[in-house]
């Protein structure tokens, strides 16, 4: 799904105080809202990407407990700091100490979690025979 020219934000609001997430208004008038839990689970750094690949998780999907493991209390993911990376991305320092992920505007736009974008991604990845119906 090409997003050239559409992955430039008009405004970015990171709700650090309320802990609710990040909202981006894009140049093409689309609006994306990302919860902090989704953002932490979607971290694009090499370490997190490798862990997701090994476990078979998709971007933004939470880690699964090993069979028989008891869930441990973990505070909800929340950035303690957010800062721009040039004009192309944003970086978070998370309350679990992780701070390696650089979330490019292109990455965020390609993985917009809204219903419209999720549906478009599903259509783009559907087998050709199911798209013709």
- Using 50, 70 and 90 to split pLDDT, how confident is the model at 90? very high
- Would the pLDDT of 11 be above 50? yes
Provide mean pLDDT across the span 60-89. Answer: 87
Query: What does the mean pLDDT of the chain come to?
Result: 89
pLDDT at 111 over 60: yes
Closest CA to 113 of 53, 50, 58, 69: 58
Of the candidates 111, 113, 100, the residue with the CA atom closest to the CA atom of residue 51: 100
Domains, the chain: 10-61+78-123 (3.30.2020.30)
CA gyration radius for the chain? 16
pTM of the entire predicted model: 0.85
Contact (CB, 8 A) for 2 and 20: no
Coil, helix or strand for 93?
Answer: strand
- For residue 1, the model assigns a pLDDT of 45
Instruction: Return the higher-pLDDT residue of 74 and 20.
Output: 20
**Contact between 27 and 6 (Cβ < 8 Å):** yes
Residue 128 — pLDDT band, cuts 50, 70, 90? low
> What share of the chain in percent tops pLDDT 90?
69
Q: What is the pLDDT of residues 36-68, one digit of tens each?
A: 999 999 999 999 999 999 999 999 998 887 777
């Amino acid at each position: 799904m090409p997003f050239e020219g559409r992955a430039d934000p008009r405004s970015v609001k990171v709700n650090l105080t309320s802990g609710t997430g990040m909202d981006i208004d894009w140049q093409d008038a689309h609006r994306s809202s990302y919860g902090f839990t989704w953002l932490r689970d979607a971290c694009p750094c090499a370490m997190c990407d490798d862990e997701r690949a090994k476990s078979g998780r998709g971007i933004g999907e939470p880690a699964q407990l090993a069979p028989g493991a008891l869930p441990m209390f973990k505070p909800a993911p929340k950035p303690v700091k957010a800062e721009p990376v040039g004009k192309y991305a944003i970086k978070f320092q998370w309350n679990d100490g992780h701070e390696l992920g650089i979330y490019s505007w292109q990455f965020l736009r390609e993985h917009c979690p809204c219903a419209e974008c999720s549906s478009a991604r599903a259509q783009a990845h559907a087998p050709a025979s199911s798209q013709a119906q």
